[in-house]
Every structure is written in C-alpha cells, then in structure tokens.
Structure 1
Amino acid sequence: MSTKYHETGRAGQKSRTRSALIASARELVARAGRPPTVAEAAEAASISRTTAYRYFPTQRSLLIAAHPETEATSMLPSNIGDDPEQRLEAAVRGFLAMVIDTEAQQRTMLRLSLEADATLRDLPLRQGRAIGWFTEALDPLIPQLGVDGVHKVAVGVRAVAGIEALVWLVDIAGMTKGDAVEQMVWSSIAVLRRALSESPASQVQTRRRL
C-alpha cells in the first residue's frame, strides 16, 4: 500500500502545510464561490506550487480534502439518549448547521457532484457521508426495522435534508434558511414516522387492537 506524501517524514510540519492548503482552499471557495485550483490555493497559503502538488496532485483531491464533511465523524451530542426521534432530529440539525455554515463550499461541491465525469465519483456528496450519520442516529431501531430498514430510512432522510433541499427551498420556494431548516427537520421526522408505522411490529400491534 502506498504512503501518502504528508504521512512520510517530518509529519508535524507536513501536517501543518497540508492544513494550510486546505484552509486556503476553503477560504477561496467561500470568497469566490468556485473551486480553486491547486496553484491558487498554494498562492493564497504562501506555499510553492511544487510543494502543493506533492500534497494534492489534482484539483479534485484538494477539493475532497477541503470539503467540511470529510472531518466530521458524528452529528450526535455526547449526552443523547436512545429515543430515535430525538437522535434523528439532533443529527439532522447538526448536519444542516454544518451545511449552512459552509454553504459556499457545499454549493460548489454540489455543482461538481452533478457533473457526468466518472472521475468525480469519490466527491463527498457522492459518497453519502450523511447517510452514515443518520444511520448512527437510528441504531436503536435496528431490532425493530433491521439493518436494511434503518439504512432505507437514513437514505430517505438524506433525500429531504441537505444542500440539495436547501438550495430548492431557499432559491426556488423562497424560504428563509431558518424556515428551510425547520421544513427539512419536519420532513425527516415524517420519513421516520412513516417507516415505523409500516414496520412489522407496528402492524402486529394494529391488528391486535382491531
């Protein structure tokens, strides 16, 4: 297995250089609203182009590293309980807060993810990272819905919550960002409740009541 350049020798200094390139790329995206080249990120970080290309041989590799979703490992607060709705709402709100906080980067990555180029398949928006966070939030439901059922709900939630939905709700529907967040949270909980109402356990209880 090959070793990445920033993981060999003088790891501390290389980590700082890599972080500086990522930070400059994020700043350029937020300021210009377009994906910067490796050369542009290097210039903004006062790093030579030759050095920058050792860390990020392509613009795509730089953008993937600079995307905010690559850093987050969970959207759940440490003190969250086992209630599925509370867990899902917390995860969705945490995810949407990150999306809005990094909206310029998110919109840029969305544009790139819509391109047909097969080489862009490993962009964060095409990897479904948020589905993993929503799946984690729904873990207590595995005994009831099964692993596949929980995954299906997580996919459904991601379909109604994210940069794609935010763009439509704000740019097309004319909502404020605050109202858009509440709409996405409402839709996410609605997806969960529908799944629970259709679960085998719920249907058994309904038949018993009848």
Structure 2
Amino acid sequence: MSVRHNEKYLETGRTRQKSRTREELVSSLRDLLKDGQDPSVAEVAAIAGISRTTAYRYFPDKEALLHAALPETGLASLLGKEPPSDVRARLLRTLDAHFEFIRAWEPQLRASLRLSLTPGTARPTLRGGRAVGWYRDALSPLEAAGSGIDIAALAVRLRAVAGIEPYVWLRDVAGLRPDQAFSAMRANALDILDAEMGRQQ
C-alpha cells in the first residue's frame, strides 16, 4: 500500500475521524521516540489504542509512519524550492535546514542516539544515514562539473561535523548554548568545504 493510497483513504468518508486517528498514531510515535524507543507500527497502534489493522491502513510500514511524524526524514534534499547553484550557498542552506531539524526534534534524536549506543541493539529508524544524502545533494554541482572531488567522502566528512553527535558534545561537554553549537558546526563544515575546493584550484 503506497503513501499516496493512504492519503486517498484519508480523503474519503469520516475524514475528521480519520484525521484524528492518524494524528494519534503520529503523536504516539513522537512520544515513544522521545522516550528512547524504536517501535513498530503495531506497537505504536497498541499504545495509541488503535487496532493494528487500522494502523496499517494509514501507514504500511515504520518508515511511512516516521516520515509523517518527522517529515524531514522523508526528504532527499533540504534545499527547498529554487536551490542556489553555488555550492557554498547550497551547503549553507542545507546546514541551516539540518540544524532546524535538530532544534525541533532534539529529544527524539538524543534518545535515538542513546539507543544506537546500546550493545546488541539494532540500528534505530532515526539512525538511517539520511543526512549524508542531504550533504551529497548540496555538493552535486561539483560532481556535475567534474571537479575531481570525491563527493561521497566529502559528504561523510561534512556529516561528521554537523549532526546530533557533535551537537551533543558541544552542548553537554563544551557547554555551548544551542546557537553557539550550531555556529561551531557551521564554521567547521564550511572550513572543510573551502579546504577541499582550495586543493582543486
């Protein structure tokens, strides 16, 4: 069952009730993620007091439910409409959007990070490596121009200095305020990009 199919299901008959049911599932997932859990659709349905069969009418799998609860996780790009062509400007826009995501969903991201560090635990849904794709998208003009830069490796390096892990260290260990932590991550990412592009000149 596709997400599009589910959207059509919401638009037919008892739409208000269906909208409430959908929001209950989404809200329950957010709460569970905040508590450090990584539940299945069936587990979310049980907490929300909704039948498993009904829940799957709205969300065919955990990824679909996650994308509804945290919309950014379903995006292949954070550049939005009319993205700039300049790579540095693209990176700045991606960084700012990524930081807004961290700001909005910090409790869920922290809980997922803690869960991922527990020995023997499967990788949580929120630890899917999506941000590397966001940074690779920001760098795509370099690839198209045949710059010779290893875009995949550069995207990983950028993600290493801009994400929930460095943010937690900067806040909890270095004692920075949120705005200071984001500024430090932004500066580090831009330094990496500038150094890499400088080597190609």
Given the two structures, how large is their TM-score scaled by the length of structure 2? 0.75
Note the aligned Cα RMSD (angstroms): 3.5
Give me the whole-angstrom Cα distance separating, in 1, the residues matched to 2:59 and 2:114: 21
Q: Does 1:11 align with 2:9?
A: yes
Task: Give the % identical residues.
Answer: 36
Q: 2:26 matched to which residue of 1?
A: 22
> How far is the alpha carbon of 1:73 from its aligned partner?
3.3
Residue number in structure 2 paired with 1:93: 96
Gaps of 5+ in 2: 13-17
CA offset at residue 130 of structure 1? 0.8
Aligned residue for 2:15? none
Are the aligned partners of 1:29 and 1:105 in contact in 2 as well (CA < 8 Å)? Answer: yes
More helix by share: 1
Find out whether 1:34 has 2:36 as its counterpart: yes
Q: Which amino acid aligns with 1:113?
A: S
How many correspondences in the alignment?
191
Alignment of 1:112-151 (within 5 A): 112-117=115-120, 120-121=122-123, 123-125=125-127, 127-142=128-143, 143-146=145-148, 149-151=150-152
CA contact (8 A) 1:106 1:163 kept: yes
Aligned to 2:50: 47
| Regions of 4+ moved over 3 Å | 3-8, 13-20, 27-30, 36-46, 48-58, 60-69, 115-118
Check if 1:79 corresponds to 2:82. yes
Alignment of 1:172 onto 2:173? yes
- Contact 1:28 / 1:36 at 8 angstroms: preserved in 2? yes
- The alignment partner of 2:179 has SS state of helix
1:11 maps to a residue whose letter is Y
1:143-186 deviations in whole A, cap 9, x for unaligned?
2434x611111111100001111100000100000000010000
1:181 equivalent to 2:182? Answer yes
Specify the code of the residue in structure 2 equivalent to 1:145: S
Change (3 A) 1:114 1:55: farther
Distance in 1 (CA, whole Å) between partners of 2:138 and 2:30 is 28
Mapped contact 2:76–2:133 kept (Cα < 8 A): no
Q: Displacement of 1:61 after TM fit?
A: 6.8
Question: Which position in structure 2 is the counterpart of 1:104?
Answer: 107
8 A contact 1:42–1:48 mirrored in 2: yes
Is the partner of 1:138 in helix, strand or coil?
helix
Alignment check: 8 A CA contact 2:78 2:97 kept: yes
Shift in alpha-carbon separation, 1:189–1:7, aligned structure 2, 3 A: same
Contact 2:38 2:124 in 1 (8 A): no
Task: Tell me: CA distance 1:156–1:68, structure 2 relative to 1, closer, same or farther (3 Å).
Answer: same
Q: Which residue of 2 aligns with 1:198?
A: 199
TM-aligned CA deviation for residue 5 of structure 1: 11
Contact 1:76 1:137 in 2 (8 A): yes
TM-score normalised to the size of structure 1? Answer: 0.72
CA 1:5–1:68 in 2, change beyond 3 Å: closer, same or farther? closer
